[in-house]
């Protein structure tokens, strides 16, 4: 009895945070603040209070291509380390994202036993065609491609959820649907929408690539580039060929030339020009400044001729934070994992006096010259495009959010976006509440009229059941949706049914001539098996809905499962305690 009283008291306290909402005005005092730390309260879902609904498509083919690149690079490293075959290079197919070729130094090394052992050890790739020469063509197996695509969607759901959590947004729903990710954020402030969308959609793919400065000379002095540059000069074009102090050649273009950005101009200029194997063009944007050092509207985009394969990627980042340099300008400091620190140290040691481009989502953030081997696993990203300290600080903070939450496994593309209002509206919700209360009152009155004092015990059990459901939802900080409300109503009806079974069984026992206490004992004992059977079958259905359902279906399943547990407890335990209390005064009489 004491335990039940304590549970009821705790449930009442837990429900207070749902009834008494936290004040929206920061100047108002929240008298339930400490209690709200333990019981956050029940929140209304998107269908009840409105909010933001976004649908993104995960570009899974990009994840497959990335997996192909990693496997190709891993095979080359294994051939170097285990088979002792030096100088193997890869050719990555541009048309089929699952195929690649390995070029060995000679045909003898291809036929060697060590090489064959390395190639067969990579179960994700199979030899498609083995030539008599020094080239082997390979392709990712279908099982790996399917797993990579499926995992890309799952990781996207997890990463987007982590980013939303980092922003402090609660009551959100992130769920997959085929190759789409559906994000629902109830009650979001319209002023936050642009920031939320930017952080969600940012791939946050960090790559550190070595700049091929000698290669830039031969590439940008090649005949196709030289011909285009001559044509640009004749037409007063926007693209300029330059060379820096280190002898590196690069292209440069300014924004808003003929209505296009510098990046668009350079991409158009380079379209149709074939790049050397394992090389790519990366772009960096820099805002011009006036004589006083203030940023202007002019933005210049320039190219870097980098290796296509990254020396190290963001998957090795352990933690990132916002720091300040000697001029109090914010930058992002990164620390690598133990494995990443070793890779980073080897990368910098092998490329001293060369530039290393720090690339985020395909844009070069900076390209410092490696002066010496960098140990300790620390690196930084400098940010220089902002107009003000606040903008720069916001950019650094957002970048830390996405780096710490993890990079998306593949780019995502927005499909639909909707800022929606509640489906029912305030009037509809109010009417629904009134209808629910009226139905509850009718049920409670009917049970008392039909079962007399024993009906009072059933009513107390029903009220405690509703209280326990709200307490559990409040303690979990759950989000209540229309399907969730439906689940509560279903379990409430099931709880009534359990009490009806018990009372009818007691009536049958009384008709056989048993004493009231013996009838109650037999009634609860025999009805328990029937109630348990029906609840177990419903519980199994709820588990299936929770496991395989999404969105609204899961909301219904959660409240249904919670309600089944609380219904069993209140119908069997609490109502029995109340009936036993009644029998203490009149053990020879039971009003039923």
CATH at residue 517: 1.20.1640.10
| End-of-domain residue from the set 143, 158, 188 | 143
Return the half-sphere exposure (C-beta side, CA atoms, 13 A cut-off) of residue 9: 6
Which residue is it, tokens 């090795």?
A: 316
117 and 220 co-located in one domain:
no
38 and 87 co-located in one domain:
no
Angle among Cα 33, 37, 43 to the nearest 5 degrees reads 90
The pLDDT tens digits along the chain (592 residues) read: 677 778 777 777 776 665 555 454 444 445 555 655 655 667 676 666 777 888 999 999 988 998 898 888 889 888 888 888 888 888 888 888 899 988 888 888 888 888 888 888 888 888 887 656 788 889 999 999 999 999 999 888 888 888 887 777 766 778 888 899 998 887 776 667 788 888 888 777 788 999 999 999 999 988 888 888 888 777 767 888 998 877 889 999 887 656 688 888 898 889 888 888 889 999 998 877 777 667 777 888 999 999 988 888 888 888 889 888 887 888 888 899 888 899 999 999 999 999 999 888 888 888 888 988 888 888 888 776 555 778 788 888 888 887 877 778 888 888 988 776 665 556 666 776 677 788 788 888 988 888 888 888 888 988 898 888 888 887 776 777 778 788 888 888 788 888 888 888 888 888 888 888 888 888 888 888 888 888 898 899 989 988 877 666 877 888 889 989 998 888 888 888 888 888 887 766 777 7
Residue 37 lies in a domain: yes
123 and 228 co-located in one domain:
no
Return the half-sphere exposure (C-beta side, CA atoms, 13 A cut-off) of residue 572: 15
124 and 225 co-located in one domain:
no
Separation CA 277–CA 283 (nearest Å): 19
**Do the Cβ atoms of 365 and 312 come closer than 8 Å?**
no
| End-of-domain residue from the set 117, 143, 169 | 143
What CATH code is carried by the domain that includes residue 79?
3.30.70
**Do the Cβ atoms of 590 and 523 come closer than 8 Å?**
no
453 and 562 co-located in one domain:
yes
DSSP 3-state of 575: helix
Residue 171 lies in a domain: no
Tell me which DSSP letter residue 570 carries. I
Residue 359 lies in a domain: yes
Q: What pTM did the predictor assign?
A: 0.60
39 and 72 co-located in one domain:
no
Tell me which DSSP letter residue 534 carries. H
| End-of-domain residue from the set 327, 359, 385 | 385
In sign, the C-alpha dihedral spanning 535, 539, 545, 548 is: negative
Residue 174 lies in a domain: no
452 and 535 co-located in one domain:
yes
Separation CA 332–CA 386 (nearest Å): 14
287 and 340 co-located in one domain:
yes
The domain tally of the chain equals: 3
287 and 363 co-located in one domain:
yes
Residue 381 lies in a domain: yes
Residue 499 lies in a domain: yes
42 and 69 co-located in one domain:
no
Q: Which domain holds residue 239?
A: 206-385
Residue 192 lies in a domain: no
**DSSP strands (E only) in 292-387:** 295-307, 312-313, 317-324, 330-336, 356-360, 363-366, 378-382
Nearest to 362 by CA among 300, 311, 411, 414: 411
**Do the Cβ atoms of 341 and 376 come closer than 8 Å?**
yes
432 and 519 co-located in one domain:
yes
Region of 236 please: left (phi>0), alpha (psi -120 to 50) or beta. Answer: left
487 and 530 co-located in one domain:
yes
Nearest to 358 by CA among 375, 344, 346, 376: 344
DSSP 3-state of 329: coil
Residues written for the chain: 592
Separation CA 378–CA 360 (nearest Å): 17
Residue 212 lies in a domain: yes
């Amino acid at each position: 009895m004491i335990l039940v009283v304590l549970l009821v008291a705790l449930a009442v306290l837990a429900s207070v945070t749902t009834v008494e909402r936290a004040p929206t005005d920061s100047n108002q005092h929240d008298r339930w603040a400490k209690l709200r730390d333990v019981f956050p309260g029940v929140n209304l879902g998107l269908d009840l209070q409105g909010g933001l609904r976004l649908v993104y498509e995960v570009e899974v083919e990009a994840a497959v291509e990335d997996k192909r690149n990693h496997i190709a690079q891993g095979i080359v490293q294994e051939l170097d380390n285990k088979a002792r075959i030096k100088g193997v290079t890869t050719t990555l197919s541009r048309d089929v994202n699952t195929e690649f070729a390995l070029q060995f130094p000679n045909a003898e090394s291809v036929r060697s036993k060590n090489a064959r052992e390395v190639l067969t050890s990579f179960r994700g790739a199979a030899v498609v065609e083995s030539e008599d020469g020094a080239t082997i063509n390979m392709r990712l197996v279908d099982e790996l491609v399917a797993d990579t695509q499926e995992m890309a969607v799952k990781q996207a759901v997890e990463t987007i959820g982590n980013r939303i959590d980092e922003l402090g947004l609660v009551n959100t729903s992130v769920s997959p649907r085929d190759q789409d990710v559906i994000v629902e954020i109830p009650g979001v402030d319209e002023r936050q929408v642009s920031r939320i969308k930017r952080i969600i959609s940012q791939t946050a793919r960090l790559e550190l690539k070595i700049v091929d400065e000698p290669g830039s000379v031969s590439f940008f002095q090649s005949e196709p580039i030289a011909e285009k540059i001559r044509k640009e000069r004749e037409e007063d074009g926007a693209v300029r060929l330059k060379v820096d102090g280190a002898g590196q050649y690069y292209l440069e273009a300014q924004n808003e030339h003929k209505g296009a950005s510098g990046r668009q101009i350079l991409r158009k200029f380079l379209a149709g020009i074939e790049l050397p194997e394992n090389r790519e063009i990366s772009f960096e944007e820099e805002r011009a400044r006036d004589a006083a050092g203030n940023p202007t509207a002019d933005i210049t985009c320039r190219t870097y001729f980098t290796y296509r394969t990254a020396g190290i990627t963001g998957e090795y980042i352990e933690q990132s934070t916002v720091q300040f340099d000697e001029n109090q300008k914010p930058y992002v400091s990164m620390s690598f994992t133990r494995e990443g620190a070793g890779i980073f140290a080897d990368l910098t040691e092998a490329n001293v006096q060369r530039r290393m481009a720090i690339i985020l989502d395909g844009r070069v953030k900076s390209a410092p010259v490696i002066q010496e081997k960098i140990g300790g696993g620390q690196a930084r990203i400098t940010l220089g495009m902002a107009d003000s300290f606040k903008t720069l600080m916001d950019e650094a903070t957002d970048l830390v959010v996405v780096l710490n939450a993890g990079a998306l496994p593949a780019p995502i593309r927005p499909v639909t976006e909707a800022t929606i209002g509640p489906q029912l509206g305030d009037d509809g919700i109010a009417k629904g509440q009134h209808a629910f209360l009226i139905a509850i009152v009718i049920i409670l009155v009917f049970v008392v009229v039909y079962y007399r004092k024993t009906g009072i015990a059933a009513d107390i059990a029903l009220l405690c059941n509703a209280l326990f459901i709200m307490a559990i939802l409040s303690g979990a900080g759950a989000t209540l949706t229309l399907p969730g409300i439906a689940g509560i109503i279903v379990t409430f009806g099931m709880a009534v049914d359990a009490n009806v079974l018990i009372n009818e069984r007691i009536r049958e026992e009384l008709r056989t001539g048993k004493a009231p206490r013996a009838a109650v004992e037999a009634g609860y004992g025999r009805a328990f098996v029937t109630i348990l059977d029906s609840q177990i079958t419903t519980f199994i259905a709820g588990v299936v809905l929770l496991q395989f359902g999404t969105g609204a279906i899961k909301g219904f399943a959660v409240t249904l499962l919670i309600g089944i547990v609380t219904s069993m407890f209140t119908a069997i335990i609490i109502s029995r305690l109340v009936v036993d209390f009644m029998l203490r005064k009149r053990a020879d009489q039971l009003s039923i």
